[in-house]
Amino acid sequence: MTLLALGINHRTATVEVREQVAFTPSGVKEALAQLCDLPSVYDAALVSTCNRTELYCVTAAEGEREILEWMGRYHELDADELARCAYHFWDDEAARHLMRVAVGLDSMVLGEPQILGQLKEAYQVARQAKGLSGALEGLFQHTFAVAKRVRTETGIGRNPVSVAYAAVSLASRIFDDFSQARALLVGAGETIELVAQHLHQAGVHQLVVANRTLERANQVAGSLGGEAITLDQIPDALAHADIVISSTAAPLPILGKGMVERALKKRRYRPMFMVDIAVPRDIEPEVGKLSDVFLYTVDDLEEVIDENRRHRQVAADHAESLIEHGVRDWQKGQRIRDGGALIHRVRARGEVLRDQSLDDALARLARGEAAEDVVRRLANQLTSRILHQPTVAMREAASAQDHVLLDAASTLLATTATNVTSQPS
């Protein structure tokens, strides 16, 4: 049996292919049951996100092809087509890959933290579906410990590398306490939706979303307890806004210098933080010349993002080093585990041979044979039975000049001259 990581991600397949091989949350348990029913699969866990679908399995050597064919049947896709955009890792490389995924080194956004939570969820689902046991469960637990250490020691996820998060990060430089801040978000696209989520997580709970269509504004604001307004209501909302972030597809600016000046007057010139993410710009450049306005553009955000990418890359290099330590620790654990299993098998075989010889001796005693003769026969019989298989193996090794095996046998059986010398009674 061996460990296999088989997957498709944003680097190897288009979004159309990734959509086709994704597993729905409600279907994962059934899929795991089918996967573990394959003759070559013993344990399995399934990770499915928007950017990757990965299977981690304890399998026989021929298991990869069988798993690919099962995946093709499940999604009604050609297995050879899947193979062309799939990657696979075995044993140590599979363990290393899982650890790199867990800390965000294999993500589209370097160091993104969401994937660790997704892996933990996949682990729990696999446990509930009884798809995990032994080595694979131990690998996931070890991976989570490594990921925790990487997050603690490298700070790989601390520096924002998305436009939405960078905008919120800039705002935190102006406001010490987000809980009292009011935010006006102009637009309702994906970027503004992410900005709203980041602001809410940072402690901003007074959110207003302005959009051309009120329905879409409600979709963004409603889940966060915010308020939705139309674009023509912006002048009134602006006077109450400490944070203004805009990202629309409008061809002309939406917030002009005069509108902002009037809002500042109503605010009694309390500072206003503004970020214009749109191209073309939503906020007139002249707004940045007003006192008490801190205006940033998408170019300013890119500078923050580039700087943070450099910080994350330094952290990523440190993370790679910690992962190598993690892989070596896992390998050591596997060797100890394998050694323990071997010791268990050897002792079990010895106990079987002992019981067989003991039963034979007791039967001879019951028939009235002399005790001394029975004991001598027991000792000879037990010695012969225990040493028979090792003796055969050593003869074959000697014939093949397998000195490695002979040296190992000498160490294991303690056959050096000092060890076999008779001890005084």
| Closest to 165 in 3D by CA, of 198, 190, 193 | 198
CA angle 310/313/317 to nearest 5° reads 145
Backbone angles phi, psi at 413, to 5 degrees: -95, 0
Residue type, 360: D
List the beta bridge partners of residue 48. 53
Residue 93 in tokens: 């490389």
The helix/strand/coil state of 230 is: strand
Determine the Cα–Cα distance for residues 103 and 148; give it in Å rounded to an integer. Answer: 8
| Closest to 273 in 3D by CA, of 202, 178, 175 | 175
Buried b (16+ CB within 10 A) or exposed e, 351-364: eebeeebeeebeeb
| CA within 13 Å, CB half, 287 | 29
The per-residue DSSP string of 264-304 comes to: HHHTTT--EEEEE--SS-SB-GGGGGSTTEEEEEHHHHHHH
H or E segment to which residue 26 belongs: none
Is there a contact between 244 and 187 (Cβ–Cβ < 8 Å)?
no
Determine the Cα–Cα distance for residues 60 and 66; give it in Å rounded to an integer. Answer: 10
Which residues are designated catalytic? 50
DSSP 175: -
Backbone angles phi, psi at 177, to 5 degrees: -125, 105
Is there a contact between 107 and 16 (Cβ–Cβ < 8 Å)?
no
The helix/strand/coil state of 4 is: strand
Query: Parallel, antiparallel, or unpaired: how do β-strands 2-9 and 41-48 relate?
Result: unpaired
C-beta atoms surrounding 51 within 10 Å: 19
Is there a contact between 275 and 246 (Cβ–Cβ < 8 Å)?
yes
DSSP 130: T
Determine the Cα–Cα distance for residues 382 and 380; give it in Å rounded to an integer. Answer: 6
